[in-house]
């Protein structure tokens, strides 16, 4: 097995959205998980002029970059293809063109090396990535907040998820991106809204807190977006300080909403798993980069006796280490690679919890995560 005794070594490939990524991750009983390389090429610049991800441009960029990225990941980890025990490629959810590129490359490498191919759910990668860095035991709660998804999932083990809450309209990252556009801030919107908010008055505009106080644990952001539009058009043209005040008020409303909404699922976890002494909330997805949101979640968790875990940013956002790691988790759990993995096609939609009711309104930007 792998390069050393008792070691599993997996090459991961991720092409579901606008990052072309490859990574080599190893695991052994004595060392635990080790990220030997984690190479990510972002396409942000290719898409910036269009104000969002353009699927055709993304697919072409993946085709052009992927071989080189895989070579770099192998070289950086000093791993020869023959030392790889399995290949893991994201098979969904995401943009079909990009998924096809990654999955076909994974199949070709699996066929060439005679190693198994694991077709990985990108969301499972996000859900399990916290275990790459820390000693997090199942079950735990995960809040996934990205450009395409906003959900709270109970993570019970590899392949075992329960969706407890989701957005009923826009994803949180989408709300940040749309607000940025409305305020004339450049793409990608989230970091620019956060930057503008730093100089603004969070209490100048009284924005709604969608679903606040309701018993259902779900999220909603489209009403907030509409309120931002109305606030902006009422005082147009906007000065720089107007933009800062709106951004700050928007971010403040998001923080307040999240505390209320996430709090519901923390309560449920405590009720259902009263015997777990150290409950954990893990956050993943690009929006987890937002420091106001991070500190609000940290404060919320502290107040409720939860440990709040925010993996380092390079593991929160899209990467291939989490895809390789998901395959290792599956191998360690005795889950065999899908016998049909080599015949599988990509899936643009692939919920973690297949039994949960279909998501309403999420994934408008191609069900990316």
Site for ligand KG4 (CB under 6 A): how many residues? 21
The helix/strand/coil state of 11 is strand
Q: In whole angstroms, how close is the CB of 173 to ligand KG4 at the nearest point?
A: 3
Residue identified by tokens 């070709």 is: 108
Query: Nearer to Zn ion by C-beta: 158 or 366?
Result: 366
Which residue in 116, 188, 351, 363 binds ligand KG4 (CB under 6 A)? 188
Q: Residue 194 binds what, of ligand KG4, Zn ion, none (CB under 5 to 8 Å, by partner type)?
A: ligand KG4
Q: Tell which positions 288-347 bind ligand KG4, by CB under 6 A.
A: 289-290, 317-318
Name the residue nearer to Zn ion (CB basis): 169 or 318.
Answer: 318
Say how many CA atoms lie within 13 Å of 66 toward its Cβ: 27
CA distance 188 to 192: 7
Least separation in angstroms between residue 14's CB and ligand KG4 is 10
Is residue 170 a contact point for ligand KG4 (CB under 6 A)?
A: no
CB closer to Zn ion, 74 vs 369: 369
Segment contacting ligand KG4 (CB under 6 A): 146-154, 201-209, 218-226, 336-344? 146-154
| Contact status: 191 vs ligand KG4 (CB under 6 A) | yes
* 140 bridge partner residues: 155
Contacts of residue 330, defined as CB under 8 A and 6 or more positions apart, other chains included, come to: 118, 158, 159, 337
In the three-class reduction of DSSP (H, G, I as helix; E, B as strand; rest coil), residue 346 is classed as: coil
Residue 83 engages ligand KG4 in binding (rule: CB under 6 A): no
Separation between Cα atoms, residue 272 and residue 98, nearest integer Å: 39
**25-32 CB contacts, 8 Å cutoff, 24+ apart:** 25/132, 25/321, 25/324, 25/325, 25/328, 26/2, 27/328, 27/332, 28/4, 30/6, 31/7
Based on CB atoms, which residue is closest to Zn ion, 8 or 155? 155
Q: Nearest-CA neighbor of 21 among 312, 350, 325, 318?
A: 318
Q: Min. distance of Cβ 186 from ligand KG4 in angstroms? A: 11
Interface size with Zn ion, residues (CB under 5 A)? 2
Helix axes 96-113, 55-76, angle to 10 degrees: 30
Q: How far is the CB of 117 from Zn ion (least distance, A)?
A: 21
Residue with smaller CB distance to ligand KG4, 147 or 311: 147
Pairing mode, strands 150-157 and 140-145: antiparallel
* Cβ at position 218, least distance to ligand KG4 in Å: 19
Using an 8 Å Cβ cutoff, are 213 and 161 in contact?
Answer: no
Confirm or reject binding of residue 217 to ligand KG4 (CB under 6 A): no
Q: Identify which of 5, 10, 4, 6 has the alpha carbon closest to the alpha carbon of residue 327.
A: 10
Check binding of 369 to Zn ion (CB under 5 A): yes
Q: Considering only 54-62, 109-117, 140-148, 339-347, which stretch makes contact with ligand KG4 by CB under 6 A?
A: 140-148
DSSP tally for the chain: helices H, then strands E = 12, 10
Task: Enumerate binding residues for Zn ion (CB under 5 A).
Answer: 318, 369
Task: Enumerate binding residues for ligand KG4 (CB under 6 A).
Answer: 17, 146-148, 173, 176-177, 188-191, 194, 285-287, 289-290, 317-318, 368-369
């Amino acid at each position: 097995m792998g390069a050393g005794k008792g070691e599993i070594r997996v090459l991961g490939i991720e092409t579901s959205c606008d990052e072309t990524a490859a990574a080599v991750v190893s695991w052994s009983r004595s060392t635990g998980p080790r990220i030997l390389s984690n190479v990510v090429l972002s396409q942000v610049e290719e898409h910036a002029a269009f104000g969002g991800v353009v699927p055709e441009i993304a697919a072409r960029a993946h085709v052009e970059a992927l071989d080189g990225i895989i070579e770099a990941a192998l070289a950086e980890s000093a791993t020869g293809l023959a030392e790889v025990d399995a290949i893991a490629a994201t098979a969904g959810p995401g943009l079909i063109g990009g998924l096809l590129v990654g999955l076909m490359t994974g199949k070709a490498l699996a066929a060439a090396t005679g190693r198994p191919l694991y077709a990985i759910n990108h969301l499972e990668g996000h859900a399990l990535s916290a275990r790459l860095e820390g000693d997090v035991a199942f079950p735990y709660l995960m809040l996934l907040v990205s450009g395409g998804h906003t959900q709270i999932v109970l993570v019970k083990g590899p392949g075992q998820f329960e969706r407890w809450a989701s957005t009923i309209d826009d994803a949180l990252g989408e709300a940040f991106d749309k607000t940025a556009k409305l305020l004339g801030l450049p793409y990608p919107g989230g970091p620019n809204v956060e930057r503008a908010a730093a100089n603004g008055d969070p209490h100048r505009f009284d924005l709604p807190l969608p679903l606040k106080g309701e018993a259902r644990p779900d999220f909603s952001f489209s009403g907030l977006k509409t309120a931002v539009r109305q606030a902006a058009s009422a005082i147009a043209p906007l000065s720089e300080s107007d933009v800062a005040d709106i951004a700050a008020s928007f971010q403040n409303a998001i923080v307040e909403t999240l505390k209320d909404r996430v709090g519901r699922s923390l309560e449920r976890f405590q009720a259902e798993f009263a015997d777990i002494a150290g409950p954990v909330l893990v956050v993943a997805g690009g929006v987890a980069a937002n420091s106001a949101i991070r500190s609000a979640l940290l404060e919320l968790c502290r107040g409720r006796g939860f440990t709040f875990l925010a993996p380092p940013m390079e593991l929160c956002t899209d990467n291939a280490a989490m895809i390789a790691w998901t395959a290792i988790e599956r191998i360690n759990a005795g889950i065999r690679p899908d016998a049909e993995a080599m015949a599988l096609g990509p899936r643009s939609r692939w919920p973690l919890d297949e039994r949960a009711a279909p998501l309403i309104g999420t994934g408008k930007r191609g069900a990316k995560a």
